[in-house]
Structure 1
Amino acid sequence: MTTDTSLYALIGGEPTIRALTRRFYDLMDALPEAAACRAVHPASLAGSEEKLFDYLTGWLGGPPVYVQKNGPPMLRARHLHAPIGPEEIEGWLICFRQAWAETVRHPGVTEAVMPRVEALARHMHNRA
């Protein structure tokens, strides 16, 4: 018997990541603080939600579905078309933090993941 101790398994796997990404984009549509971030997304968020789900699945130690579908993430390069400054980053982080708090109930994982998420979000900065 093997024990999966990946972050993916610890938070509940696919159902939790699906709930997280769904809530994240619901918040992006609803929160005024996320308006700048929402503005750089397409009218329909379905494709963005699916890509974030795929990415987080592999990033947290689950199956590498994003890489299988799209190749290496190269997130910053994939987002260069969108103007991402402090307002977009903070809006994204507000949505992510709230969605995570509402869907992930494992404090140890939160402590491990949130600094990495915040660093990744800030790395996406591509305009003054």
Structure 2
Amino acid sequence: MALRCVVVDDSEQFLRAAARLLGRQGIDVVGIAQHGGEAVDRVARLRPDVALVDIDLGEESGFGVADRLSRTAGQLAVIMISGHGGADFEEVLANSPAVGFLDKSDLSADGIRRLLR
């Protein structure tokens, strides 16, 4: 059974590219969202295994979205993503509900699975 995923990012271009890439690598991207409200809705309706949440969602903090998702979707694993290195966010990541961080340039099914182990 394929891992079911929702991707949350304010860039429509990134959402499309990530969905294609992960789909080719065996991850079932069941939904995409560009902001927190959409993310909560998609996760509630689609019940994915994992949500990839961009740290910077424009005017909205990805960490705030991760908190909302973890409170409303029990078994959901949240992975934070960003085009900026994870070292910049180590302290905030450690205090978040996220299971880990992936740089967008390193996004892959293997990277997601490694963080979920």
- Normalising TM by the smaller chain, what interval? 0.3 to 0.5
Higher strand share: 2
TM-score where L is the length of structure 1: 0.33
TM-score where L is the length of structure 2: 0.35
Question: Of the two, which has the highest radius of gyration?
Answer: 1
Instruction: Report 1 or 2 for greater relative contact order, CA contacts < 8 Å, sequence distance ≥ 6.
Output: 1
